[in-house]
A and B are shown apart, each in its own frame.
Chain A
């Protein structure tokens, strides 16, 4: 893992921490961006961590591009020494898999899909070697996920599955992107799951829908009053399968401002996680289920 530095025009420094996605690359990207933020370098206007890379926006009238490059390079060694430990949130996201709304949408765009005869879930289950859609859903909702990037559109989380690489779900995107995706669709593309924060175009496979808004520009949803975007890079997500009745109840509770997302403050240690992934995930699951 050797970071690669390149400029995005005269206003962005772009750092690819690693070509391939891994939790190690994400942690390195996150720790480098945190150190840059702590140093509050004059002329740096914005720091954006992504999955295995990050971008630093700067004002070249204030800091010379090469000066910034040297500053960020010097952080690399410091970041390597930092403990891979993160104080973060563990969040339960209810998901109504195989819901009627994403089903209607995926049928409408069937000719853009690899498998026009099946559904997105049937296709994903088959190519990942699961005997049934139910078994696939159990895998998708069975392990936690790291929010490794927030973006594309406002507040959309990219989530990386916290399991051994050989167990990771991988699904290609649609052959041609759809022009429509229901709001709050739980999607999948490459090795990332996502939640579409708004309705719109999209190319990720559609697995289900969450009743829990994650972006509210009007800030009327109780838990989005302080800030309109719910997710932050570094959040840990656990999906909880729900049925239609619970979906409807939750939608109503959200509308009445009576819904509170289930959130636990946790300390995540990458070394302990890598030493015993299964055991670590079981502990995380225990924390979200315990009161």
Chain B
């Protein structure tokens, strides 16, 4: 069984939950930016949560199915259509051989996740089917999908129950303005206390340069650096450090002007200082932010970060129960 790509949308790629374990060689985690939505789509069609599906940003693809199967679309609000008829999202949908899955315009959020019973069956590369386009690794031939591609589909588990859907309370909300919680640290001592305070008080906006590598923000006041003689090997700009690892979710501020939150396809390291890291519980949310979304960064402690993590885990447990 295969799915034929009639139109790929803007940028649609094969993703699963990611490729951990190779960061020390510069290979990023990759995988769905909104992993909760990816898991939900897979559970709806009876797949393992880690099966591969499609992630589409801003514009949905148009896909023709060769055989009868079950699909589900989660994530951003983007009306789902089968042969032109609107269908519910966050729901297991039967689709027949020859029918076409397509989408209307995005109304909220940024990325949809499409799961098909059996999962997209591209070869596993370093433990994952996720696409890492810079390294031409994984996914469909190491790249985003294109018109005319035929995406192989694996054998369905048989646990797909058409019509099953995710309860409203367990679907993603798209709150605006957005609050992203940051645990300060890493190199935050490089900037003055007052300017760091201001960073957490001001409103920022998602910049157009927002993709799977990172999300850039604009609109706040540039940070002020504590003076120092730059250490050997760090480079001359006060925002430079000796090249180090960049944690997933870390917030770097090149030149002190525009913060960038590194996401799933980010470079693994480099020479810009970081003021802290977005907590794990809020990383999925970033994948659903559109350019210009007003955003506030709030400061949390490790205890609060772990509490938020537990709350996310509990929500995922509820989802698993609901779709059992």
Q: Number of B residues contacting the other chain (C-beta, 8 Å)? A: 51
- A278-B307 Cα distance, complex, nearest whole Å: 55
Bitwise, B291-324 to A at CB < 8 A (1) or not (0) is 0000000000010011001000100000000000
Nearest residue, chain A, Cβ from B271: A190
Further contacts, 4 of them, CB under 8 A, given A52-B233, A229-B27: A7-B183, A8-B274, A9-B276, A60-B306
Alpha-carbon gap, A8 to B185, bound state (A)? 7
Which of A57, A155, A173, A189 sits near B23, CB closer than 8 Å? A57
Given contacts A7-B302, A217-B137, A14 and B248 within 8 Å (CB-CB) = no
B231 and chain A: residue at smallest CB distance: A20
Chain A, residue nearest B249 (CB): A9
Distance in angstroms between the alpha carbons of A8 and B234 in the assembled complex: 20
5 nearest A-B residue pairs (beta carbon): A21-B233, A8-B247, A9-B277, A20-B231, A151-B26
Given contact pairs A9-B278, A10-B302, A150-B25, A217 touches B125 in the complex (Cβ within 8 A): yes
B183 touches A217 (CB 8 A): no
Per the bound structure, the CA–CA distance linking A10 and B282 in Å amounts to 11
> Which B residues, 247 to 285, have Cβ-Cβ distances below 8 Å to chain A?
247-250, 267-271, 274, 276-280
Nearest Cβ on chain A to B71's Cβ, whole angstroms: 29
- A50 lies within 8 A of B247 (CB): no
Question: B185's contact among A14, A21, A57, A149, by CB below 8 Å, is which?
Answer: A14
Q: Tell me whether A71 is interfacial, beta carbon within 8 Å.
A: no
Q: Is B21 at the interface (CB under 8 A from chain A)?
A: yes
Q: Is A165 an interface residue (CB 8 A)?
A: yes
- A20 x B134 contact (CB < 8 A): no
Stretch at the interface among A41-49, A137-145, A240-248: A41-49
> Is the CB of B242 closer than 8 A to any CB of chain A?
yes
Across-interface contacts of A12 in B (CB, < 8 A): 247-248, 277
Cβ–Cβ contact B134 & A150, under 8 A: no
Known: A11-B247, A16-B244, A51-B243. A190 touches B20 (CB 8 A): no
Q: Mark contacts of A143-178 with chain B using CB atoms, 8 A cut-off: 1 yes-contact digit, 0 otherwise.
A: 000000111111110100000010000001100000
- Complex contacts, B278 vs chain A, CB 8 Å: 9
* B142 contacts partner chain A, Cβ-Cβ < 8 Å: yes
Q: What residues of A have a CB within 8 angstroms of the CB of B23 in the complex? A: 46, 48, 57, 151
User: Are B243's CB and A154's CB within 8 A?
Assistant: no
Contact A154 B233 (CB under 8 A): no
Q: Which residue of B lies closest to A9 (CB)?
A: B277
Contacts of B241 in A (CB 8 A): 19
Contact B137 A154 (CB under 8 A): yes
Chain A positions 195-229 with a Cβ under 8 Å from a chain B Cβ: 197-198, 200, 215, 217, 228-229
- A12 and B249 alpha carbons, distance in the complex (Å): 10
A22: B residues at CB distance < 8 A: 232
Contact B235 A48 (CB under 8 A): no
A45 touches B20 (CB 8 A): yes
Q: Report if A21-B242 is in contact (Cβ < 8 Å); known contacts: A7-B183, A10-B305.
A: yes
Whether A158 and B279, one on each chain, are in contact in the complex, defined by CB atoms closer than 8 angstroms, is: no
Given known A-B contacts A190-B235, A191-B233, A48 and B245 have beta carbons under 8 A apart: yes
Nearest CB to that of B126 among chain A residues? A228
Nearest neighbor of B302 in chain A, beta-carbon distance = A65
Interface string of B3-36 (1 = CB under 8 A from A): 0000000000000000011111111000000000
Interface centre among B134, B137, B240, B247 (most CB of A within 10 A): B247
Does A200 lie within 8 Å of B134, measured CB to CB?
yes
Contacts A8-B277, A65-B302, A152-B267 given; does A172 touch B235 at CB 8 Å = yes
Partner of B245, one of A19, A61, A151: A151
A6 at the interface (CB under 8 A from B): yes
Nearest-neighbour CB distance to chain A for B247, whole angstroms, equals 3
Contact of B247 (CB < 8 Å), options: A55, A60, A172, A198: A55
Asked if A150 and B186 make an inter-chain contact with CB atoms under 8 angstroms apart, the answer reads no
Say yes or no: B243 contacts A50, CB within 8 Å. yes
Report if B236 contacts A (CB, 8 A).
yes
Residue A53 is within 8 A (CB to CB) of chain B in the complex: yes
Assess A9 versus B183: contact at CB under 8 Å? Given A151-B267, A190-B271, A192-B233: yes
Name the distance in Å between B288's Cβ and chain A's nearest Cβ: 19
Can you list 8 A-B pairs with a CB-CB distance of less than 8 A?
A9-B276, A55-B247, A153-B267, A154-B26, A172-B236, A173-B235, A191-B232, A217-B142
A54, CB-defined interface residue at 8 Å = yes
Decide if A55 touches B242 in the complex (CB within 8 Å).
no
Q: CB-defined interface of B177-204 with A at 8 Å, one 1/0 digit per residue? A: 0000001011000000000000000000
The answer to whether B242 touches A152, judged by C-beta atoms less than 8 angstroms apart, is no
Give B133 Cβ to nearest chain A Cβ, in Å.
10
Docked pose: A49 CA to B243 CA in angstroms: 11
